[in-house]
Structure 1
């Protein structure tokens, strides 16, 4: 519960910035095209604050419902316009100018994403290297003979620099490709080729962690399940566990590594567990009930133990990655383009049923991710903001009446017909668009609540 104010603040900052940038795109384009702007509002509904500024006395406002905003322009369809200002009405502009104004909002979101990525890439950050961990038995990675500690050098011939690059490249390939070829190098500097089959990634409609289904995990040093520290007054101490105890089994399952131990305990919050362990050559057992702890929006089990120090990894697992001005700009453009296309592809697969609608996220999930990324650091938070900005840009370009893409569709029809659609046709379109939009919002909110209560 202590995380809620922080997560909410992180969410509101992202939301506020993206709404302002989107609406500023419309506002600046309208001014450029000579259209008078009557109101610039962040949020919908009743106004909480307003102030008139500028030669046109434009009303700048903050309204009660924060999930969006709008720019109200002079328009003869919405009220009487003085004769001397008719030329500044939106409806009197050419189709080209109206389309520029409408498209400027989503384009501003794409531009923001590019600027964020550009700045982050130029500033540089410490990144995890694309080093693979031992995969679970039966997964595609295990069948490809991926070994613990192998460093990925390339994927289908494309260089791979960081763990995030590897994750993103595999997700992109998994949408339309049957397999990928990984070039890896092990700790002895031996180069190998691993063919990874990708069908398992989408076998649950892309719900959950697709990479986990493939068996793609980050490298974990081999650490024996030996307790190095027992937290005072914790579950483990109360049960009598001590430093140096070697865990042999949990709930009847043999334990060979510290990772196995942590995985079972995390999945056993508030459920009894029998721990078998070795102490000075003697095999003992105790029963514990892991505490239920809220961590990053999920309930996990903990008993209050830490691993004994193990051997240092043979190779570094992190590197500081920074790009020059030109290369950073190129990567920013590529990143924005790739994520925009991927968003459209996934939306298309939702419509065809290849991707589950459970992947649709609403404000609760976005707020959770905003808080998590903010806790990880400024670069993660900015990258998250860029990703949401791209999603907002793509969503607004969909040809749904009410959204910017719907208005652009009207303009295309007008060009073909050589005259605008009738007021009645556009009114029906608005009603249909609102219905679709409310249905999507309701579905996204339902998914949020399902994730919140079911983990």
Structure 2
């Protein structure tokens, strides 16, 4: 069932984003007076088509679903010598360079506009998310060394307001990208009963982060969680053999108070095969129960890591807030979010080219499909957020100056504006071949990374 949901979520998301992208090209082409011959969702052989509209444009679905295209009347692709003058005036290459720029740029801009609409709608509806209240930082982490304490609530990072945990994580990623220039992260917190304090995470700690991983936890910034209360207890697990029951509250471990679910989970994982003594509160009565977590090998870095497990469910969740905005503020936040995400994406690409960020961060259709399925299972808001992020990525990638992409064509037309003449056909052919080779290489790398993650 999960596989079917993943496939449906992936197809719906990708299909929607492709249609929006190509509609951008189509609508601006029509607005500029260019004749559109075909609108295809998918590439390759056409499996279904119908003709509609005054120009009898062919609306088609093609066999390969990873993409789409709008085919216009274009002298470079077909013989137009026998066409009447009325059609020749609507041929693509006969339009001014500014009209051609508008038509090509309309696809990526449509993706950005869709992302703005999705984010604005989500901000107006209200998004439930964990509050930016912190757990006690782990010993030796950058947050602990900087002076953060349990129950500190982050209110701003580098002057940017933080409303919830997603804002916190996003601002940490931005700070990590900027840290290459030696800039640390100035984090302002509200401490209960003590007022506001400002701490600084050094640039050195930020530059070491794996931006594809859990950046906040790596710094010692974790969500404040409730005390560990047990839900289901697996009768085959170490917890059940030790006498743990549903409803038990874990108070201490080896005489050390357990502050929250995260601390308890971390302590159990760090004790495979070693007996630990739990102080438990059951129906108001204190109990002391020894338990020996079973060792289990999990993937970690380059080699498997053995962690402890007692096979119990932990109940409770962090403090949640609903962040809601009016139409104007929601739209403003959405525009800023799309801009910031686009800039960050470009910076990440730049850091990959310079070797500062691993090429393992390049993801392909398998990973995107997995994220689509996961987000759809969480809820509609999560799924729409996923679509907005992918729509931004699609817009940015299409604007890269790579021949065969929209950005490559925009580069050609920019050179035409500067020189007063179009690029030569020979130059265009060579660039096209190089562009196809580069795209095939990137796709192969993305699929390789996807398979490596699965394995």
TM over 0.5: yes
TM class by shorter chain equals 0.7 to 0.9
Q: Secondary structure at the match of 1:44?
A: strand
Give yes or no for contact 2:111–2:394 (8 Å, CA) kept in 1: yes
Shift in Å at residue 204 of structure 1? 5.4
1:404 maps to what in 2? 406
1:202 to 183, 201, 207: 207
Cα deviations across residues 82-126 of structure 1 (Å, max 9, x unaligned)? 133111111111111111110000010011111111111111122
Structure 1: state its 5+ residue gaps.
Answer: 293-298
Q: CA separation in 1, counterparts of 2:231 and 2:389? A: 40
Deviates more, 1:154-163 or 1:425-434: 154-163
Change (3 A) 1:175 1:327: same
CA apart distance, 1:234: 3.8
Paired residue total = 434
After superposition, the Cα gap between the structure-2 partners of 1:380 and 1:46, relative to the gap in structure 1 and judged at 3 Å, is same
- Distance in 2 between residues matched to 1:205 and 1:305, nearest whole Å: 30
Does the Cα contact within 8 Å between 1:248 and 1:276 map onto a contact in 2?
A: no
Question: Residue by residue, what CA displacement relative to the aligned partner does 1:346-387 show, whole Å, maximum 9, x if unpaired?
Answer: 111111111111111111111121222222221121111111
Residue 296 of structure 1 corresponds to which residue in structure 2? none
Please list, as runs of the form range in 1=range in 2, the aligned pairs for 1:82-97 lying within 5 A after superposition.
Answer: 82-84=83-85, 85-97=87-99
SS at match of 2:244: coil
Are 1:304 and 2:305 an aligned pair? Answer: no
Deviation at 1:65, TM superposition (A): 1.0
- Return 5+ residue gaps in structure 2 as ranges: 280-285, 299-304
Contact 1:41–1:62 at 8 Å: present in 2 too? Answer: yes
Deviates more, 1:319-328 or 1:193-202: 193-202
1:114–1:332 CA contact under 8 A, matched in 2 = yes
What SS does structure 2 have at the residue aligned with 1:76?
coil
> Conserved in 1, the CA contact under 8 Å of 2:242 and 2:289?
no
Q: Tell me the distance in 2 between the aligned counterparts of 1:186 and 1:29.
A: 53
C-alpha displacement at 1:317, in angstroms? 2.2
Tell me, what secondary structure is at the counterpart of 2:89? helix
Q: Does 1:45 align with 2:44?
A: yes
Asked whether the 8 Å contact 1:201–1:211 carries over to 2, the reply is no
Q: Distance in 1 between matches of 2:60 and 2:94?
A: 26
Distance 1:193 1:237, change over 3 A: closer
Q: Aligned to 1:186, which of 180, 191, 195?
A: 191
Q: 1:322 to 1:24 in 2, by over 3 A?
A: same
Give 1:271-310 correspondences, 5 Å limit. 273-278=273-278, 284-286=290-292, 288=294, 303-307=310-314
Q: 1:63 to 1:275 in 2, by over 3 A?
A: farther
Separation in structure 2 between the aligned mates of residue 26 and residue 103 of structure 1, nearest angstrom: 8
SS of the residue corresponding to residue 149 of structure 2 reads coil
- The answer on whether the counterparts of 2:238 and 2:291 sit within 8 Å (CA) in structure 1 is no
CA distance in 1, matches of 2:212, 2:314: 32
CA distance in 1, matches of 2:185, 2:214: 18
Q: How does 1:393-432 map to 2 (within 5 A)?
A: 393-432=395-434
1:214 paired with 2:219, answer yes
Question: Of residues 132, 139, 142 in structure 1, which corresponds to 2:141?
Answer: 139
How many angstroms does 1:132 deviate by?
A: 1.4
Match of 1:114 in 2: 116
- Cα RMSD (Å): 3.0
TM-score norm. by structure 2 comes to: 0.87
Structure 1 residues 283 and 442: alpha-carbon distance in aligned structure 2, compared to 1, 3 A threshold? same
1:67 — aligned with what?
Answer: 66
Moved more, 76-85 or 154-163: 154-163
Q: Which sits farther off after the overlay, 204-213 or 121-130?
A: 204-213
